[in-house]
């Protein structure tokens, strides 16, 4: 199945879940709840666990019942527990002193769709750069996913790999078909698994559908782990296409795997109780970086009512960078579907690379069309229109005319816009009709070839129309068709383009924080795959699941080169060096349309690994910056003081300020009603002292931008300078975003941040407070 059409399978998945929930709730009124108690105040694990039991005793009749309800006790970094509770107990606990939040453990999904019978992918064809080889050996990357296939070459220990970093406190756990002695090595240094939550919520896993161990049955975890930190493997390919050298972003970095997602009919489902346990152990084990391609579509829960926000908040306090996928939705070009939006983590969009898979279609031996596919061998058949098998020409199982009419030997031509069918739906329908292959005509912007259950060639609507008209002219005469695969062609222009499935901003939770943060390759990525479920060791997958580990791999390299950088500094380096131009020197296209992308499609732009190592300036943040952000979001000092490490200043400022003032490497103002100044602070991390940075500004439409000071003069390495950006609305408008940018340049570094401003003025009078610094301001 095409791996980008989430909606169809997602709804199928939910249906399945509902059946399970109904079954469970008929026998037991308890659900799994998460009780979050903030920062763990006690270094003694047992004492913390006992305090959890004491709290539970207040809502249970006996100590035995209280103990039995507990699924997990979280004691390191964050304190809390997962327990079987009824809603009354949950409500009571939520009101108790020391409890920050109580929420139901949701079931989440990996950010690709079904992939059980599909294979590998190769993304990067070039050789590893010396930088990739020189750095990363001291960095441990934790992957929260569906586990690992340790025999894959991507996790082999490279020759000369040094000993495991002495800071490592993790484990390689034994389990079904998983022997630590042979599975783990100096590359794969840790592997754990968590299934208490999923089995409580969805019922016991069946023996043939999963390994009760860190071993990967879905394939997704093996794929993402090899993308982030896979060792160098020459000659990776999928049936001869996509040939090249496979390796992760940080091929020298160490890998620790936390299996929190489990196979349910080929889809990876994950319980928040298990994911929290994965976060907990990863932080305790001493990872430097966490990559999690997991999420769930909006409505988004408030901050601190999801594993993602809690886990990454405590990771941030320990200096651990957390990278999430932004999410995939079939309707993704619509705004505000972006997921994993907390300002202390990174949310990654997905875009294409410059590789295409041209496939020749020949009709009657002499008329040629070009499409795209991942077909690996030639197909010969008879061309047939969808109307021969499907009512109203709608390629869906529900419209199948007659189970006795077989499409055997036929290549069926379907149009996406007829009945609005996704390629997944059409593939399923043609498979059901026993068809030989599918020609799927759809708007150019949505075409993404995949490894499908029925060989599928994607063509654009023009080609599709010509093929259909040729078929119409032929009448009753059979039209022969040959499909001739290519090998993959590098150098497609324009590239990258944002994948249409990639979820867009603005954030539906905190629109003044730009999300997604950045985009990275997530279309037809070739990476490692469990070899027992196919004859291949590599598979192509698409999704923000695939772009997320790309960013994690590069973040690992930055961490290795700059070990003292905070997660915010690392994100700043990634974002301020990202680029907005494609190979045709134009703005990256937004998938799902033929329009140029904006920061809500790509964040700050496309990942630029080399430049990110040396950004010149960084926009750094500490826990205190996030505390002020939380104050402005309406959290009370009491709540906040529970969540931060002792000794942190938790006083809220007397005056509410806009959350736009968080020192983020992007300026987003979702409601500009009057002239407003926004503050940013940058630190010199370049090699030179006595450096001057000058601004270059692109103003958003209808907004004047003033910046002060006009020059940033750094005398010393690590100097910090604050500057102010004053935004002055110059138009009557409601609800439309306009975009610009600010670039600070010392001629060598171009430190760029995007501006996204929504002017919201209804009356004819543009009111404004006095513009601070405007007299000294630079207008551009």
d(C-alpha 40, C-alpha 351), whole Å: 39
Q: Which of 221, 168, 165 is nearest to 193 (CA)?
A: 221
CB of 765 vs ligand NAG, minimal distance in Å: 14
Q: What's the N-to-C CA distance of the chain in angstroms?
A: 50
**Residue 516, preceding peptide bond in cis (omega within 30° of 0):** yes
The verdict on 92 binding ligand NAG (CB under 6 A) reads no
The verdict on 86 binding ligand NAG (CB under 6 A) reads yes
CB of 397 vs ligand NAG, minimal distance in Å: 6
CB of 117 vs ligand NAG, minimal distance in Å: 15
Nearer to ligand NAG, 87 or 167 (CB): 87
Nearer to ligand NAG, 31 or 620 (CB): 31
The verdict on 432 binding ligand NAG (CB under 6 A) reads yes
Nearer to ligand NAG, 29 or 768 (CB): 29
CB of 149 vs ligand NAG, minimal distance in Å: 8
Nearer to ligand NAG, 648 or 760 (CB): 760
Token code pair at residue 79: 């304190």
CB of 532 vs ligand NAG, minimal distance in Å: 4
CB of 193 vs ligand NAG, minimal distance in Å: 14
d(C-alpha 688, C-alpha 685), whole Å: 8
- Side by side, the strands of the sheet bearing 720-729 are 617-618, 676-684, 720-729, 703-708, 778-779
Element (H, E) at 12: helix 6-27
The verdict on 760 binding ligand NAG (CB under 6 A) reads yes
CB of 537 vs ligand NAG, minimal distance in Å: 12
The verdict on 532 binding ligand NAG (CB under 6 A) reads yes
Q: Is the dihedral of CA 483, 488, 489, 492 positive or negative?
A: positive
Q: Which of 1, 533, 451 is nearest to 218 (CA)?
A: 533
Question: In the set 29, 204, 240, 634, which binds ligand NAG (CB under 6 A)?
Answer: 29
Q: Binding marks (x or -) toward ligand NAG, 111..150, rule CB under 6 A?
A: ----------------------------------------
Q: Facing residues of 324 across strands? A: 292, 347
Tokens 């439409």 sit on residue: 701
SS3 content of the chain, % helix, strand, coil (to 5): 25, 30, 45
DSSP string, 191-222: EEE--HHHHHHH-PPPTTT--SSSB-SSSHHH
Token code pair at residue 628: 């002020």
Nearer to ligand NAG, 241 or 395 (CB): 395
Q: Binding marks (x or -) toward ligand NAG, 704..743, rule CB under 6 A?
A: -------------------------------x--------
The β-bridge relationship of strands 676-684 and 703-708 is: unpaired
d(C-alpha 51, C-alpha 246), whole Å: 48
Q: Which of 464, 290, 291, 289 is nearest to 385 (CA)?
A: 464
CB of 211 vs ligand NAG, minimal distance in Å: 7
Nearer to ligand NAG, 27 or 402 (CB): 402
Are the C-beta atoms of 517 and 603 separated by less than 8 Å? yes
Nearer to ligand NAG, 206 or 402 (CB): 402
Q: Which of 294, 302, 304, 297 is nearest to 348 (CA)?
A: 294
The verdict on 535 binding ligand NAG (CB under 6 A) reads no
Question: In the set 671, 681, 774, 780, which binds ligand NAG (CB under 6 A)?
Answer: 671
Catalytic residues: 145, 220, 545
Largest CA distance in the chain: 83
The verdict on 360 binding ligand NAG (CB under 6 A) reads no
Nearer to ligand NAG, 506 or 549 (CB): 506
Tokens 């809220």 sit on residue: 652
CB of 547 vs ligand NAG, minimal distance in Å: 29
Residue 168: count other Cβ atoms within 10 Å of its Cβ.
16
Nearer to ligand NAG, 368 or 688 (CB): 368
Element (H, E) at 79: strand 78-85
- The interface region with ligand NAG, picked from 130-138, 305-313, 402-410, 548-556 by CB under 6 A, is 402-410
- The interface region with ligand NAG, picked from 85-93, 417-425, 633-641, 657-665 by CB under 6 A, is 85-93
The verdict on 402 binding ligand NAG (CB under 6 A) reads yes
Question: In the set 404, 585, 769, 770, which binds ligand NAG (CB under 6 A)?
Answer: 404
Residues 203-242 that bind ligand NAG (CB under 6 A): 215
The verdict on 60 binding ligand NAG (CB under 6 A) reads yes
Please state, in angstroms and as integers, the Cα–Cα distance from residue 128 to each residue in 40, 124, 193, 233, following that order.
Answer: 41, 9, 31, 10
The residues of the shown chain that bind ligand NAG, judged by CB under 6 A, are 29, 60-61, 86, 88-89, 177, 215, 364-366, 397, 402-404, 432, 434, 532, 670-671, 735, 760
């Amino acid at each position: 199945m095409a791996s980008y059409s989430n909606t169809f399978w997602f709804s199928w998945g939910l249906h399945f879940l509902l059946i399970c929930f109904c079954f469970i709730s008929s026998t037991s009124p308890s659900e799994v709840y998460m009780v979050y108690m903030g920062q763990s105040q006690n270094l003694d694990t047992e004492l913390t666990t006992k305090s959890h039991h004491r709290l539970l005793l207040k809502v249970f009749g006996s100590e035995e019942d209280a103990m039995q309800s507990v699924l997990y006790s979280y004691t390191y970094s964050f304190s809390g527990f997962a327990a079987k509770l009824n809603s009354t107990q949950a409500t009571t606990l939520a009101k108790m002193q020391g409890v920050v939040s109580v929420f139901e453990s949701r079931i989440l999904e990996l950010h690709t769709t079904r992939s059980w019978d599909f294979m590998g992918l190769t993304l990067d064809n070039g050789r590893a750069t010396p930088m990739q080889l020189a750095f990363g050996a001291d960095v441990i990357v934790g992957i929260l996913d569906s586990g690992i296939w340790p025999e894959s070459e991507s996790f082999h220990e490279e020759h000369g790999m040094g000993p495991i970093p002495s800071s490592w406190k993790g484990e390689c756990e034994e389990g079904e078909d998983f022997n630590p002695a042979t599975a783990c090595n100096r590359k794969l240094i840790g592997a754990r698994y968590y299934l208490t939550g999923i089995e409580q919520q969805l019922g016991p896993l069946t023996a043939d559908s999963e390994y009760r161990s860190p071993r990967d049955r879905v394939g997704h975890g093996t794929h993402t782990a090899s993308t982030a930190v896979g060792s160098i493997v020459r000659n990776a390919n999928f049936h001869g296409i996509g040939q090249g050298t496979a390796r992760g972003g940080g091929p020298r970095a160490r890998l620790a795997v936390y299996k929190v997602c489990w196979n349910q009919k080929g889809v990876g489902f994950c319980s928040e109780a298990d994911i929290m346990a994965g976060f907990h152990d990863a932080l305790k084990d001493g990872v430097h970086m966490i990559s999690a391609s997991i999420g769930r579509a909006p409505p988004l829960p408030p901050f601190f009512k999801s594993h993602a926000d809690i886990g990454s908040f405590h990771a941030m306090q320990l200096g651990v960078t957390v990278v999430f996928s932004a999410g995939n939705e079939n309707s993704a070009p619509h705004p505000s579907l972006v997921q994993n939006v907390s300002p202390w983590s990174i949310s990654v969009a997905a875009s294409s690379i410059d590789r295409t898979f041209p496939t020749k279609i020949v009709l009657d031996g002499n008329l040629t069309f070009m499409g795209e596919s991942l077909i690996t061998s030639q197909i010969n058949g008879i061309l047939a229109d969808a109307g021969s098998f499907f009512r109203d020409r709608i390629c869906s199982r529900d419209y199948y005319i007659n189970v006795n009419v077989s499409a055997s030997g036929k290549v069926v031509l379907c149009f996406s816009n007829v009945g609005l069918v996704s390629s997944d739906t059409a593939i399923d329908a043609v498979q059901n009709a026993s068809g030989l292959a599918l020609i799927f005509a759809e708007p150019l912007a949505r075409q993404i070839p995949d490894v499908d259950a029925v060989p599928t060639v994607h063509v654009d609507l023009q080609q599709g129309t010509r093929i259909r008209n040729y078929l119409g002219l032929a009448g009753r005469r059979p039209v022969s068709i040959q499909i001739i695969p290519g090998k993959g062609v590098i150098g497609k222009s324009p590239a990258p383009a944002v994948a249409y499935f990639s979820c867009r901003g603005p954030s539906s939770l905190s629109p003044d924080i730009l999300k997604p943060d950045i985009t990275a390759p997530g279309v037809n990525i070739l990476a490692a795959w469990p070899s027992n479920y196919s004859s291949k060791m590599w598979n192509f997958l698409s999704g923000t699941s695939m772009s997320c580990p790309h960013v994690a791999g590069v973040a690992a390299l930055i961490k290795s080169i700059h070990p003292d950088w905070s997660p915010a500094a690392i994100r700043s380096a990634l974002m301020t060096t990202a680029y907005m131009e494609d190979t045709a020197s134009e703005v990256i296209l937004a998938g799902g349309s033929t329009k140029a992308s904006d920061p809500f499609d790509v964040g700050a732009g496309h990942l630029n690994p080399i430049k990110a190592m040396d950004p010149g300036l960084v926009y750094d943040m500490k826990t205190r910056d996030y505390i002020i952000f939380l104050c402005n979001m309406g959290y009370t000092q009491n709540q906040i003081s529970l969540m931060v490490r002792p000794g942190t200043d938790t006083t809220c400022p007397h005056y509410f300020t806009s959350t736009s003032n968080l020192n983020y490497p992007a300026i987003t103002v979702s409601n500009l009603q009057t002239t407003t100044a926004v503050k940013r602070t940058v630190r010199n991390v370049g090699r030179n002292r006595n450096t001057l940075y000058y601004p270059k500004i692109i103003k958003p439409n209808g907004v004047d931008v003033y910046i002060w000071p006009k020059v940033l003069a750094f005398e010393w390495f690590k100097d910090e300078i604050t500057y102010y950006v004053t935004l002055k609305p110059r138009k009557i408008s409601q609800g439309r975003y306009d975009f610009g940018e600010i670039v600070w340049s010392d001629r060598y570094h171009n430190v760029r941040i995007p501006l996204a401003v929504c002017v919201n003025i209804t009356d004819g009078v543009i009111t404004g407070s006095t513009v601070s610094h405007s007299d000294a301001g630079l207008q551009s």
